Structure 1
Amino acid sequence: MCAGFLAGLLGIGGGFVVVPVLVWVLPITGVESQHIPHIAIGTSLLCICVTSLFSSKAHHQRQAVEWTVFKLTTPGLVVGTLSGAALASILSGKILIAVFVSGALLTALYLVSGHQPKAHPSETRWPFFAYGGFTGMISSLIGIGGGSVLVPFLVYKGRPVVRAVGTAAACGFPIALFGALGYAVSGQQQIIELDYRTGYLYWPAFFGIVIFSSLAAPVGAKVAHLIPEKRLRQVFALFLFFTGAQILYSHWF
């Protein structure tokens, strides 16, 4: 439920919750340690396919999704996501964890910096395509819906945080869909002693997570529209600091 609530509240897809939980839980199944980050990230993306739909629907009902931006960004998201999934298949688990923590902490630092970008209302295709590609690659490498990367960019382009969050929630679906497909394919080449999986996608974890997170996502979206913009940025940053620190401590100390 926490993953779904945060997906609606912050447009992050819930990956910053799902990945750490799976990294901590999967060892119980007997999976070898080198495969755990890949399965956690792939399964997280699969979960985000569902949570992003519920979250974006809730934001759309409040007219907080800019579908023009979604259309401009999606082609880049698809290209970047597939590239990131392919890259992840050849990286070690520790490198993926390091990328995950770095992305969380850098995003948090940006949000608490208090930087107020000037509005850049241009709707030209290439900046959105290029940044979409970057967002998709980072998101598929660390198993998130892309909100932590995309929201700061949309704020820089002059969008209010609430509309940036709503649009990022919608963009989470193509990221998650193509990212999950990439992990499903790349994981087929690995020998992993784990039942009920497709590549790096672990179905029992998927069903257990999405049942509750789908119910909580609309609640998070509703709360997002009740919190002042500055406070929403602070909540987002605090959450990223906390998650990054937890993972860093558990894997390196």
Structure 2
Amino acid sequence: MAMTPQLAFSRMPPGFRFQPTDEQLVVDYLQRRTAAQPCVTPDITDIDVYNVDPWQLPAMAMYGSDHDRYFFTTAAREEQARRTTPSGFWKPTSTKKTIFVVAGGHEVSTAVKRRFVFYLGHHQPSGSNNNNKTSWIMHEYRLMNPPIGAAAAPPASSSSVDLREETMVLCRISNKDLPKPPFIHNGLLQFSSVGLNGDGYNYLILDHLEPPAMEYPNVDIGNAAADAAAGTDDPGDLDEEIDDNMQRNHGG
């Protein structure tokens, strides 16, 4: 019997939060999943992310932090990938970031991370503003040199794309307009980064907080000033920098 998200959460200790770094996502999850090796606990859900509207995804995830949900999905080669859902499409908003992994005492370029924003409506030509930008964000992790022949079978609902042109990717879905959790206790900003069973992974323990619901599109309105301040049509690169700093400061 397949494990439901509710059953999966019931097996975790109270206060459990899943908050891996980029390197941990690549080494302990994406590389192992692509090579058909068992991943460390917890499991990450397999689903056809690109055929589901983002506000439906949180309820389908096994694990996630207060703002992030994680999924494995198969995708075509990047230049051929279509990221269109029933209600809209995912648009890339930042340059690709190379993720380096330490191996044999050296940093090795292992994966590529890219940020996308979800827009409601049909895909428009580049530069068009006829779509409704939402606050749903996706970070896509893709191995630079996946093992030959190791791509897993796609979900049953995917189209009949040549499997030789597909690869496994890991997606992190979030909604940037959700209120940030108040990481404050007795007037002090507090984080607790501890590993489940002492394994060293970044599990944020905040027993008094509950993850907020993510159930609707959240059209992103009135961000023109913030976008202009970031120097792009979307503050993707600024968000990437904030995300990287958070990982370095809290266990990354």
TM range (shorter): under 0.3
**Structure number with higher strand proportion:** 2
Q: Which one has more relative contact order, counting CA pairs under 8 Å at least 6 apart?
A: 1
Q: Rg bigger for which structure? A: 2
**Structure number with higher helix proportion:** 1
Q: TM-score under structure 2 normalisation?
A: 0.26
